A and B are shown apart, each in its own frame.
Chain A
Amino acid sequence: AQTVTQSQPEMSVQEAETVTLSCTYDTSESDYYLFWYKQPPSRQMILVIRQEAYKQQNATENRFSVNFQKAAKSFSLKISDSQLGDAAMYFCAYGEGNTPLVFGKGTRLSVIA
Chain B
Amino acid sequence: GIQVEQSPPDLILQEGANSTLRCNFSDSVNNLQWFHQNPWGQLINLFYIPSGTKQNGRLSATTVATERYSLLYISSSQTTDSGVYFCAVLWDDMRFGAGTRLTVKP
Partners in one complex: no
B: residues with CB less than 8 A from A are none
